[in-house]
């Protein structure tokens, strides 16, 4: 099968950052420090200067060529021979400049690629998760008068999942869902999508694979070496298994210009998610907390810069509503700068209480919502056409994403919080229309 080519449009995507870096050099450097990222910011300016220099030379040479062409028609035969000769020389020069330009652009792109997005002024500053701030707590942790089981025991005793079969068929960290495990997953999907459609989100089922260019535009690094790569690549193609529908939903509008009056656009996408979990070997090996494949309902929004802060709060509110609706206790974390990753400008995590986790229960991340401002839009070339025309180019949209329901993690929280002394699990009320029972009991 032939490899699909990267489109020319996408190829130059990261170039556009250079001017911003140049204009905010100190702020960008400080941000890298806050984010605990080592990046040669000065190299960007240096390489950008070089790029401009070469481009000017190339453009001037091309202009000369065009002049020759313009004068060709009224030239005498002798003059024409001369002009052809001259044009040939210029052509060689242009080829040289273009080659240099391509080389510098590759370097510039590489230098820009490691620079993270700027950070929200209110995001807590800190280099690791210790600096994260809890900004809200919801629900009441269940008080058990028995020793609560973890989700692995519950899955096994209630026959909701088969981990051995998963390992046999696909390897460690794969699983089969069975019985009410299946019904619960489907119910969670229905619950989330139904709720979001009612809120005006457009439902989408996305591809489970996407091209490397799209992954990179969203901020993933599929070209990393196999040891550190977070996504699966498909051999002999330029495709990856997606790690989240954020990838496909964001890519959906790549290279488009959207009229301002069509913003914001809110989508709710359903997909499978595939993660190599490179670097997580040995961690969370039990059960379905950290797996290579799971199902997720994801929110995604495209909007103007003026709208993104409010939509971020809106998405966070929806995530809270979903977990409040499920009756699961959780807390909300305002992620600190060092923990934001590359694309996020600000990020909130919802951490659900998981009574079976660790020693006597622990919080575990169940959702995450990020405002990526124009970081992804620049790379994917998603612009909007403002109502009021102003000078200088079309601005980029802002993109936001947020988990509605990550099925495996939600499943853990449900099973562990809703378990009963007799080993059964009560089905959260909002899921009963789809599960069709109030309680999951052991099979005979």
Partner RNA sequence: GGAGAGGUGGCAGAGUGGUCGAAUGCGUCGGUCUCGAAAACCGAUAUACCUUCACGGGUAUCGAGGGUUCGAAUCCCUCCCUCUCCGCCA
> Helices then strands (H, E): number in the chain?
14, 16
What's the min distance (Å) between Cβ of 209 and RNA?
A: 13
With CB under 7 A as the contact rule, which of the stretches 69-77, 146-154, 188-196, 230-238 interacts with RNA?
69-77
Number of CB atoms found within 10 A of residue 410's CB? 30
Count how many Cα atoms sit within 13 Å of the Cα of residue 91 in the half-sphere of its side chain.
8
For position 15 contacting RNA by CB under 7 A, the verdict is yes
- Return the structure tokens found at 66: 């065009």
Q: Which of 131, 204, 394, 441 binds RNA (CB under 7 A)?
A: 394
Q: Which residues make Cβ contacts (< 8 Å) with residue 406, sequence separation at least 6?
A: 273, 294, 296, 366, 367
Question: 86 or 429, CB closer to RNA?
Answer: 86
69: contact with RNA by CB under 7 A: yes
For the segment 271-310, give every residue that binds RNA (CB under 7 A).
none
State the Cα–Cα distance between residues 323 and 412, nearest whole angstrom: 13
Question: Site residues for RNA, window 230-259 (CB under 7 A)?
Answer: 257
CA dist 94 and 44 (Å) reads: 24
Q: Rounded distance, CA 376 to CA 342, Å?
A: 10
Q: Cβ atoms within 10 A of the Cβ of 359, count?
A: 5
Is 77 a binding residue for RNA by CB under 7 A? The answer is no
Applying CB under 7 A, does 4 fall inside the site for RNA?
Answer: yes
Q: Is 383 a catalytic residue?
A: no
Q: For 154-221, give the secondary structure using H, E and C.
A: HHHHCCCEEHHHHHHHCCCCCCEECCHHHHHHHHHHHHHHHHHHHCCCEEEECCCEEEHHHHHHHCCC
89 near RNA, rule: CB under 7 A: no
> CA–CA separation, 113 vs 111, rounded Å?
6
CB of 55 to RNA, least distance (A): 5
Active-site hit among 13, 35, 266, 275 = 275
Smallest gap from residue 83 Cβ to RNA (A): 6
For position 103 contacting RNA by CB under 7 A, the verdict is: no
Taking alpha carbons only, the member of 392, 349, 340, 390 closest to residue 368 is 349
Select the residue interacting with RNA from 27, 40, 42, 66 (CB under 7 A): 66
Check binding of 83 to RNA (CB under 7 A).
Answer: yes
Nearer to RNA, 82 or 443 (CB): 82
65 contributes a contact to RNA by CB under 7 A:
yes
Sole window of 5-13, 103-111, 159-167, 355-363 interacting with RNA (rule: CB under 7 A): 5-13
Q: Which of 119, 246, 409, 416 is catalytic?
A: 409
Active site residue 321: no
Nearest to 418 by CA among 192, 149, 178, 138: 149
Told to check if 438 binds RNA by CB under 7 A, we report no
CA gap 423, 158 in Å, rounded = 8
Q: How far apart are CA 30 and CA 24, in angstroms?
A: 10
| Residue 62 within binding range of RNA, rule CB under 7 A | yes
Answer yes or no: 109 catalytic. no
Is residue 78 annotated as a catalytic residue, yes or no? Answer: no
Q: Does residue 365 have an active-site annotation?
A: yes
**Nearer to RNA by C-beta: 260 or 284?**
260
Q: Which residues bind RNA (CB under 7 A)?
A: 2, 4-5, 7-9, 12, 15-16, 19, 52, 55-56, 58-60, 62-63, 65-66, 68-69, 72-73, 83-84, 87-88, 91, 257, 383, 393-394
Catalytic annotation, residues: 275, 290, 365, 368, 409
């Amino acid at each position: 099968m032939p490899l699909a080519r990267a489109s020319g449009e996408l190829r130059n995507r990261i170039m556009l950052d250079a001017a911003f870096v140049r204009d905010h050099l100190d702020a960008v450097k400080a941000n890298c420090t806050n984010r605990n990222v080592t990046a040669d910011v000065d190299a960007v300016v240096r390489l950008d200067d070089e790029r401009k220099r070469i481009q000017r030379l190339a453009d001037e040479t091309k202009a000369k060529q065009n002049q020759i062409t313009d004068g060709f028609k009224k030239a005498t035969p002798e003059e024409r021979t001369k002009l052809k000769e001259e044009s040939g020389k210029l052509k060689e020069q242009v080829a040289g400049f273009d080659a240099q330009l391509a080389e510098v652009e590759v370097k510039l792109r590489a230098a820009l690629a490691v620079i993270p997005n700027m950070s929200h002024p209110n995001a807590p500053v800190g280099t690791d998760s210790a600096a994260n701030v809890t900004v809200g707590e919801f629900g009441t942790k269940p008080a058990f008068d028995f020793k609560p089981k973890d989700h692995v025991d519950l899955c096994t005793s209630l026959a909701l999942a088969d981990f051995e079969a998963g390992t046999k068929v696909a390897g460690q960290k794969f699983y089969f869902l069975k019985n009410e495990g299946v019904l619960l997953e489907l119910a969670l999907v229905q619950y989330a999508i139904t709720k979001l459609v009612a809120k005006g989100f457009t439902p989408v089922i996305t591809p489970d694979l996407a091209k490397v260019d799209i992954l990179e535009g969203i901020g993933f690094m599929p070209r990393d070496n196999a040891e550190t790569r977070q996504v699966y690549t498909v051999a002999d193609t330029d495709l990856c298994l997606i790690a989240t529908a954020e990838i496909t939903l964001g890519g959906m509008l790549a290279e488009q210009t959207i009229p301002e009056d069509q913003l914001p656009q809110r989508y709710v996408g359903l997909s499978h998610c595939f993660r190599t979990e490179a670097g997580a070997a040995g961690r969370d090996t039990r059960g379905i907390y950290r797996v290579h494949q799971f199902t997720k309902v994801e929110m995604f929004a495209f909007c103007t810069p003026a709208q993104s802060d409010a939509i971020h709060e809106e998405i966070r509110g929806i995530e809270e509503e979903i977990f409040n609706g499920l009756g699961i206790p959780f807390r909300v974390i305002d992620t600190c700068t060092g923990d934001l990753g590359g694309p996020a400008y600000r990020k909130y995590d919802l951490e659900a209480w998981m009574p079976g986790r660790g020693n006597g229960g622990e919080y575990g991340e169940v959702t995450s919502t990020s405002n990526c401002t124009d970081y992804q839009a620049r790379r994917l070339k998603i612009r909007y056409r403002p109502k009021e025309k102003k000078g200088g180019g079309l601005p980029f949209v802002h993109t936001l994403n947020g988990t509605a329901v990550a099925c495996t993690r939600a499943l853990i929280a449900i099973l562990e919080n809703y378990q009963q002394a007799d080993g059964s699990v009560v089905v959260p009320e909002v899921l009963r229309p789809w599960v069709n029972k109030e309680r999951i009991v052991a099979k005979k």
